[in-house]
């Protein structure tokens, strides 16, 4: 896909017994059928899922990170539960186990924490009603495209630099919009997406080695 600039590649299961395919993959069959693709007769368009942050945050047995009151579960956490053999199938079990541990631990300790309840009401005086939802929707799609294309499974300094520049433009545009309109869930989520994308890209630029899924063609060897 990277070499030829393709949006997707195709998975072919048309040679398999149709009834067997339907039986083994009922959800995939139904989903593809709903968008007009019969996988027993047609190719399935597929793209790789981008794993941006795998195993980066060290946690204890309760899923607690080194930052007080901050838990990390799922692909972003580093539990050591499966050692170096952390695959998609066993990591799903790991995520469930540690999510359960995090929930139990938080319930046990929540009464120990105090909360600041003197937060003033949000002052949106002088701002406009957010009528430009089309801008936010487009920017959300663009952040996803930037991260998938330039900061996906295989990276390079050139792609990361392009991602950095484009995210910077989106950041400036979004901050300007945020100051002029009433705060909504959508624009707050967009700001968070851009910030997380920025942090992941910055981390990838600073890493001068390939380690696990942080693979870069400019530094192919693990240092």
pLDDT in tens, 18-55: 999 999 999 999 999 999 999 999 999 998 776 666 66
Q: What is the C-alpha to C-alpha distance for residues 71 and 75, in angstroms, rounded to an integer?
A: 13
pLDDT, position 128: 75
pLDDT along the chain (223 residues), means of 10: 86 95 94 95 87 76 95 86 63 88 96 90 79 87 92 89 96 92 90 94 89 81 69
Q: What is the C-alpha to C-alpha distance for residues 188 and 198, in angstroms, rounded to an integer?
A: 15
Go through 195-209 and write b for each residue having 16 or more CB atoms within 10 A of its CB, e for each that does not: eebbebbeebbeeee
Domains defined along the chain, listed by start: 9-46 (no CATH), 57-111 (no CATH), 133-216 (1.20.58.100)
pTM of the entire predicted model: 0.71
pLDDT, position 179: 87
Helical (H) or strand (E) element with 94: helix 88-109
pLDDT, position 35: 94
Is 139 in contact with 193 (CB distance < 8 Å)?
Answer: no
pLDDT, position 143: 96
Is 105 in contact with 68 (CB distance < 8 Å)?
Answer: no
Task: State both tokens at 132.
Answer: 């430009």
pLDDT, position 53: 66
Most distant pair of Cα atoms in the chain: their distance: 65
Q: What is the C-alpha to C-alpha distance for residues 8 and 16, in angstroms, rounded to an integer?
A: 22
């Amino acid at each position: 896909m990277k070499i030829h600039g393709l949006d997707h590649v195709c998975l072919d299961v048309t040679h398999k017994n149709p009834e067997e395919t339907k039986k083994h993959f009922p959800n995939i069959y139904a989903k593809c059928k709903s968008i007009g693709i019969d996988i027993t007769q047609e190719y399935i368009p597929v793209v790789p899922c981008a794993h941006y942050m795998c195993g980066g945050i060290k946690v204890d047995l309760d899923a607690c990170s080194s930052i007080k009151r901050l838990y990390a579960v799922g692909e972003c956490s580093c539990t050591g539960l499966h050692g170096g053999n952390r695959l998609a199938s066993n990591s799903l079990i790991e995520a469930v186990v540690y999510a359960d541990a995090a929930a139990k631990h938080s319930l046990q300790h929540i009464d120990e924490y105090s909360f600041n309840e003197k937060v003033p009401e949000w002052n949106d005086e002088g701002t406009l009603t957010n009528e430009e939802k089309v801008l936010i929707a487009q920017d959300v799609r663009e952040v996803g495209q930037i991260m998938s294309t330039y900061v996906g499974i295989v990276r390079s300094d050139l792609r990361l630099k392009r991602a950095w520049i484009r995210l910077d433009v989106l950041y400036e545009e979004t901050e300007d919009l945020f100051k002029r309109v009433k705060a909504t869930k959508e624009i707050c989520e967009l700001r968070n997406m851009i910030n997380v994308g920025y942090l992941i890209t910055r981390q990838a630029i600073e890493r001068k080695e390939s380690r696990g899924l942080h693979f870069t063609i400019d530094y192919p060897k693990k240092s």
